[in-house]
Amino acid sequence: MGDDTSQTGKRDRESTERRIVSAVLDLMENEGFDAVGINAVAARAGVSKVLIYRYFGDLEGLMRTAAEQLRGITPDISLRVVECANEHEQLSPESLMRCTVLELRRSVEDNPLLRRLLVWELTEDNAMTRLTTELREESGLDQTEAFSRLLAELRPDNNTDVPALLALVTAGVFFLSLRSDSVRYFNGLDIRSDEGWQRIADAAADLMRHL
């Protein structure tokens, strides 16, 4: 008792499908993407794998369905960036950049599933990665838009290539966050510590002084 659907747990297709999809996400997050196989999913869902084929066709169909659950996985940090910048100092290009780096890092660090997805997108091309890649691209453009707008308010005459700049910075934060899972140091910096990330954020912020 106490199970998700202990009463209707039997012969309830909806509940079963939900358990299967949850098992996929659970496996991805905790065991890694190559642990997501028919047998493993069925076992973790506590369900016969035949049902997976019946309800989702094949593994790709399951993935496609599971991917729908991932809408919203990509972080929208625009709000938090502004909060952060206003919190510790007044809003400025420097604080904007510093907080972008720090909040971006935090959102990746706090989200194991997102990290798994970012790596997966580097290695596989399937229904799931295509969708999450798309979502990420949209969210990145939003983020860039917000940054551009704020920067234009602060420095109306600047002609910074914000998309290119943010592409490099977010890519850098992504890579360093992912890397910190397996290796502690990168270029001598401790990328597992807040101090290391402070240095990175400060270095990035420092560059905005030219405005």
Partner DNA sequence: ATTTTATGTTACCGGATGGTGACATGTCAA
Partner DNA sequence: TTGACATGTCACCATCCGGTAACATAAAAT
Q: State which amino acid sits at residue 94.
A: E
Which one of a second copy, DNA, none interacts with residue 111, CB within 5 to 8 A by kind? none
- Residue 48 has a CB neighbour count (10 Å cut-off) of 12
For residue 13 the two structure tokens come to: 């297709």
Which of 27, 178 has the CB closer to a second copy?
Answer: 178
Binding status of residue 138 toward DNA by CB under 7 A: no
Residues in the chain: 211
DSSP letter, residue 208: G
Binding status of residue 153 toward a second copy by CB under 8 A: no
Give min distance, CB of 52 to DNA, in A: 8
- By CB under 7 A, the residues from 57 to 116 that bind DNA are 58-59
Contacts of 5 (CB under 8 A, 6+ apart): 12, 15, 19
For residue 42 the two structure tokens come to: 């069925």
Binding status of residue 53 toward DNA by CB under 7 A: yes
For residue 186 the two structure tokens come to: 């990168």
Give the residues lining the site for a second copy (CB under 8 A): 32, 34, 101, 119, 121-125, 129, 133, 137, 140-141, 144, 160-161, 163-176, 178-179, 181-183, 185-189, 191, 199-200, 202-204, 206-210
